[in-house]
Structures are given as C-alpha cells and as structure tokens.
Structure 1
Amino acid sequence: MKNYAKSVGHDYEDIVSIGFIGLINAFDKFDGEQYDVRFSTYAVPLIWGEIQKSLRASGTGVRYSTGIKDIGWSIRKNELEDLSVDEIAAQLEVSRGRVVHAQDFLKHGIPGSLDQPIRAAEGESSIADLIGEPDDATGMFVQEFLDSLTERERMVAVGLMDGNSQTDIAPTLGVGKGQIYNMRKRIAEKYLEYSGMQESIQSPVKERTLEKEVKKVAKKNKPVSITEKAVNAMKEKGMSYKAIAKEFGVTLQTLTNRRQNWELERVREQHQEGKDMKKPLEKESVTAVVTAESSADLSQVITLENEIKGLKDVVDLKDRIIHEQRNVIVQLKVERDELANRSETIGGWQEEIKDERKLLAILLEREAVRIKNLLEVG
C-alpha cells in the first residue's frame, strides 16, 4: 500500500484515511439480511472505490482514452512491442501518433507485475524481492478499537463482522432490532472518533480484504450462548439470576423468559412421552392436553368424558328415530303408488283415491318437516 501511494503521488497516511472513510460508509450501509454476504466482502469494494474516487478527483497522473488503451492491449496481445512505430501503425492500421500514445500507456499507464524480472549486480531479481513484505498490524488495530467499546457494543460489532444480521443479533442481547440499529450508529460514530485520534497508523486497509483478521477477532470475542446447562452451573456456584444475566450481557427479564421457555419445553416433552406410552383404547375417548399454563384435574376429565358419552347416546337415539321415519316414508310412498295404480284401473274409486292421495301427501309433508327438525337439533 505504501508503494501504491507513492506511485499515485499521495502520502501513505492520506490513502489510509480515505480508505477509512470508505470503511465507515460500508459499515453504515451494510445490511446482512439484504445482501447475504459477509461484511468484509461487502466493505472492500467500497473502500477501494472511495480511494479511486479521491484519486480521480485529485487529477493525479495522465489519463488515456479507451481507444488508446485498446491499441496498447492489441500491441501487447500481438507481441508487437519490439517493432518500430511505423511497422505497428501499418499492422494495426492506425496513425503513428496513436501508436506513440499507446506505447506510452503500456509504459506508464498500467502497473507492472511484481514478478517482473530486473537486472541487479548480484544477478536477476524481481520487483517483489526488492519491495519485501510490509508489517501488517490490522488485527491489533481492530482489537484495540473493539476493546474501546462497551460489552454490548462489542457483541454487536463482532456479530456484524461475522456476517450476522441485526435480526440475528437482537435475540442474543434480548433487545429489539431498532436498538441494535441505534447501537450500530453509535459504533460508527465511535470509530470515526477513534480513527481521528490516531497520530500514526501503521496498518493499511488491504485491497485483498480484512476477512482473515476479522475471523480471528470474531472467534475470540464471539458472544457465549445462553444455555440451560450454563445457567444451572452458574447457579450452583452461588450466583444470583441477576448476576448471571449481567454475565451474559442480557436483562434479568430476558433470562427469566429463557428459563420459562426451557421449563415449558420440558413439560411438553414429558407430556409427549406420556402420550407415546399410553395404549390405544378399544373405543374412541377424549384425551386432555396438559400444558404448563393449565393442568386439567382428573375428575374434570372423567366428567367431560361422561358428558360426551351422554351426547353420543342422544345422537344414536336420534339416528334410530330418523331411520324409522325414513322407513315410514318409504312405506307411505309404496301405498301411494298402489293407490295410483288402482285409480287408473278402477274409475269409480278415483274420487276416493284422490282424497287418500291428498291425505298421504299431507302425511309425507309432515314427516319431512319432522325429520328436518330432528336433523337441525342433532
């Protein structure tokens, strides 16, 4: 990074400061739920973009048009570097002036490879051999900043760097998503203040990402999960629930809610085991669901079963009555049909049969109404 700063004509500290601005912008805009990537993956392009934007604004260096760059890449692709300007211009069918500009672009407009060999008195070396490895204190810088935060702010910062969303972090601290958002803003403000107080920054913001160092810090500062086993162990040591809640960095109410959930889950498991062990009855019976909030008394269960049994008896009785009434209706229909046949063959009885048919129709209508009422009551 120091060599890059020198190549673009800027001080190393200026480049790092610009990179920090990009880092703060990335931290403020990052939303793990929306982007579904790690913070470091999201932040690096923004940091590099901020540096490039600042360099463009300062107007450092010579700018080359796209056409000149294309000619330069064609020269390199076709291995024409060793030819004269006239020969290159003839082969690429461009003017001599454009070839000269393209050669200048290849010489000064693109960075050279670190593996590019150079001649030295001791033999042949590469640029990378002369540059060496810069000291990297990124991990120390990140750790120092995390140590300057409160316990809860550190848990939020590490959670965000570890790729978790605000929704994922909120239950761990026992707070709402809005409070996590406010803490995130405070962390960003503290980071601006912290970076501004640094007289000399030894560590550059690497182009390759801060992911390795972030992983180390996140692993070291990752919040401890609140488990029933851990709480019981602390309680056996004589700690109060208030002290245990403080140890985990949550409120006493949050810890109480966790304990209630554990108890409820245990009751449900015991009830499920009891249902699995119970043998099926020959007749259908009513089973009472016992919950942690209300436990049904055995006598109440028996009373309910008796009431339901009585209701089933009433329903069975109504079913038998309906069945008998349907048989009566069928019989009446048969008699009606017989009377109809007689009326067709015996003309003298037509009036009598007509009256009987009216009577049967009335009876059928009454029976239908009666059955309908019974069905509605059932």
Structure 2
Amino acid sequence: MSPRLDETRTRIAASTKPSAPDETGVTYAPGTEGLEDLPEIPPFDEVGALDARALSKTLFARLESLPEGTHEHAYVRNTLVELNLALVKFAASRFRSRSEPMEDIVQVGTIGLIKSIDRFELSRGVEFPTFAMPTIIGEIKRFFRDTSWSVRVPRRLQELRLDLAKATDELAQRFDRAPTVDELAHRLGLTNDEVVEGMAASNAYTASSLDAQPEEDDTEGSLSDRIGYEDHGLEGIEYVESLKPLIAILPARDRQILSLRFVANMTQSEIGEELGISQMHVSRLLSRTLVKLRKGLTLEE
C-alpha cells in the first residue's frame, strides 16, 4: 500500500476513538467537548442510508459554525467521513474488475469524499450524495489514469484513447463492422495520423506477458514463440557489401581462387589440381589476396 493511502487512513481515523465516560456518564471523543447537543450517532456500520443522510445534514450545519483547526471541527469532519464511507464503497464497486486492490481504490475514493465534505454547502439545497459522487468517481478515475498505464504516455494521448474507444463503439453499432481510420478521423474531427497515433498509444495501456497463453482460435502460439530470433548472418552483410568492389578489381585467377576456397569449400590441394599449380603456390596467392582485401577494408574505415 502506498504511503499516500496510509496517510489518508491515518487522517480519517484520527480523533474518532472515544474516550472513557466522564463523571456524568457521557462519552466524548478527544476534543469533542461542547458537542453535547449533537444527536447520538450509532455505530457507523449500523447506520442506514436515510439515517446517514439526515445525520449528515445536522453535522454539516454544525461544521459550518465551527472554526477550522479546532478539535470540534476535526471531530465533526471525521465523523462525516466515516458516516459517508458507504458512498465511496459504492463508487469503488464499479471498478472491481480492475487489477488494483479494492482497498486502494476505496482509500483513493475516500480522498474524493474528504474533498467533497470540505467543499459542500448546505445553502445550495443539493443532497450531499449527489454532490459528492462525481468528485469521488473522478478521484478514482484520476488514480487509474496516473497508475494503470503500463507505459507512460502524454495526457493528450490518454484522453484520445478514450475518445477513440467511444467513437469506435458508436460507429461499429452504426455500420455493423469495425470503423476505418478515415471514418474515425471524420467522426472526431482529427487527421488520419492523429487517429493512428492514438491507436498506437492504446497499446501502452496494458502489457501482455510473453508467456501468456494464446486464445483458443489462435494457432500461432504464445507471444514468445512469435518473437524473431537474432540472425547472426546479418552481421556479415556490411563486410560482404564492402568487399564486393575490392574483389571486382582483383585479377581473374585471384577471384577464382577465392571462389573455389570460400564458395566451393575446396582445399588448397584441390584448388592446385584444378588450376594446375602447386598447393604451396595456391597458399601464397591466397594469403596475398587476403592481405590486399584486409588493407582495402581498413583504408575504407
């Protein structure tokens, strides 16, 4: 779990543990003296939706009358957070199919709940759940946007991926087939290059394992089976191309010796019999030719 989420949990839990009853038998949380006129709040897991809404209105009214930075303000604010955590869990349930742990999603949503509590005003006549839900969901989506991409891409391309997904679904339903790049570009008012760039960026959202099992109708095997191997023969292409003009200016007999030795794979004795010269003479001619070619390559470099 990230330090940011741990800090959120600590901040929410602060000042909410009740102290022992005083001589009057009344139990207070630390710093809650002067809040005796608030209604008795049952355990948070036993509060229904309607009760939580009614209690929240009372607490919001009291929160507006308390100065920030006081123990009383912190206690009422933290109580509101605990009282409305059901909103966060409901919003987080929409993202249960994501790979992130649900506990992290809930705590990120709780950050959105805290922001909503700090911004909410009773005088506007809006119900708190209606006001808070967009902020909670927005905070969760921002979390996924910042952490879920396998490869980090610019914000512009992240947003373009969403626009392309929506446009693709709309056009696929209209045409009963996958839309073309031209159709997507016309629908979004973009150029074809921008659409292609957005499609390429979409591949960075998730990374597939090289050992991932193929689909049932996939006959090509896993991704690792389709990755090309290193062709060591490519290393010699540069030398071959560099040698071609040097070999072309050699005498005909030297070119023939090179061909018989390195193309036909004949021994020096066999080459001598083929040309009617001794094996020792073939060795001298071959050595002289190789030295000449080596010098030619060195001078070119």
TM-score in terms of structure 1 length: 0.21
Comparing both chains, which one has the higher relative contact order based on Cα–Cα distances under 8 Å and sequence gaps of 6 or more?
1
Instruction: Give the structure with higher Rg (CA).
Output: 1
By percentage of residues, which structure has more helix?
1
